[in-house]
Structure 1
Amino acid sequence: MTLAIILSALAMTAIVAIRYVLTSGIFAWATQRVRPGLYALLRPQIRMEIGWSLASAAIYGIPAGIIAWGWQQRGWTQIYTNWSDYPLWYAPLSLLIYLLLHDTWFYWTHRWMHAPRLFRIAHAVHHASRPPTAW
């Protein structure tokens, strides 16, 4: 059981990291094509941003992996894979409800990280990129 949870957490972390590298990499590549040399002097900053972003992949991936394991092995969530379990109208409604709940969660946790006691230890690095880059 423990090994399965660890593997699930590692898999989700890898998925988040790969998705990040691909999307940010494409954006960085496109930016370089449109504005060559824009970030030429920012290589140390970009390396730091990539490192912190990959660490963030674990912050998101580990809990996601645990939940994915719990969904598959313990039925922790209401995620369903058989479309005939619910009426067809439920799919877009559940998606809208999910997006609303996720956005609300993200907004309030982001606001919480701006509290003075937490900002310096948990969130300041997010705002340290000057100028911001794709990474």
Structure 2
Amino acid sequence: AGGLHLFFYSLHSQGERLRYDNRALEQLQKNFLFRNQVHDNMFWSLASGVTTWTIYEVLMFWAMANGYAPVLLWSEHPGWFIIITLLTPIWISLHFYWVHRWLHWPPLYRLAHALHHKNTNVGPWSGLSMHPVEHVLFFSSILIHFVVPASPFHILFHMQHQSLTAATSHTGYEAMLIKDKSYLALGTFHHQMHHRYFDCNYGNLEMPWDKWFGSFHDGTDASHDAFKTRKKTLRGKG
């Protein structure tokens, strides 16, 4: 997150090219700690996010070392080793989708997820800027390895993938440009729409969970009309 923030927001290396929202990240706003969006996001990412990430990682290594979690070795099962590696991002994506939808349940939203949604315009530090309760839920996908065998490599890959993609998906830019050519795909319009409208696009683009479960918004007028109709229907049922 720090490197991306330095490139895009401190050095302005790309200007506003491929940026989704040209508004500056907020300062002098009482709803952020230290009255500064970036400093607020850094605090929650490091004080709560990295702490929770570390606790889960240490827990899994300890469980594997002491026989509480099954261990998968490349030397014994190379095929399964590769399969678990390939399935890990899909599992993270599915877990994130349903945890994210649950976090939009009003009581849980008010308790925890509202902190993340203070960021209506996002930057790299916004990705892991969450309430401690949300961090516990967000990283809990790793607990599947108390059942599904894994190696220390899988634990590291799982946690790094989940944490680092949170930063890249919140850069506020579609891609990093090097010499006017798209060099690295970063944030997605898909998730940018979620921060704008809240009740849509709970997942990511790795898997079409939102299309399959009726929460997709692609930014078109037709999609927005369908989104508003769906919200009215849900409110009517409530």
> Normalised by the size of structure 1, how large is the TM-score?
0.67
Q: 1:34 to 1:89 in 2, by over 3 A?
A: same
- If each structure's helix is expressed as a fraction of its own residues, which one has the higher value? 1
**How many angstroms apart in 2 are the aligned matches of 1:34 and 1:44?**
23
Alpha-carbon RMSD across the aligned residues, in angstroms, is 2.3
Matching residue's letter, 1:28: H
SS, match of residue 117 in structure 1: helix
Quick one: distance in 2 between partners of 1:26 and 1:130?
Answer: 21
Deviation track 1:25-44 (CA, whole Å, cap 9, x = no partner) reads 111111122229x7476481
Distance of aligned partners of 1:107 and 1:128 in 2 relative to their CA distance in 1, 3 Å threshold: same
Structure 2's unaligned 5+ residue stretches are 17-22, 28-34, 126-238
| Residue ranges of structure 1 left out of the alignment (5+ in a row) | 1-23
- Residue in 2 aligned with 1:107? 97
1: CA distance, partners of 2:56 / 2:104: 22
Cα distance 1:79–1:106, how it changes in 2: closer, same or farther (>3 A)? farther
Q: Select 1:53's aligned residue among 30, 45, 58.
A: 45
The number of residue pairs the alignment matches comes to: 108
Percent identical pairs in the alignment equals: 26
Letter in 2 for 1:108: W
Seen in structure 2, the aligned counterparts of structure 1 residues 51 and 89 have a Cα distance that, compared at 3 Å, is: same
Match of 1:124 among 96, 114, 119: 114
Amino acid at match of 1:119: Y
By relative contact order (CA 8 Å, sep 6+), the higher-ranking structure is: 1
- Relative distance call for 1:130 and 1:98 in structure 2 (3 A) is closer
TM-score, normalising length: structure 2: 0.40
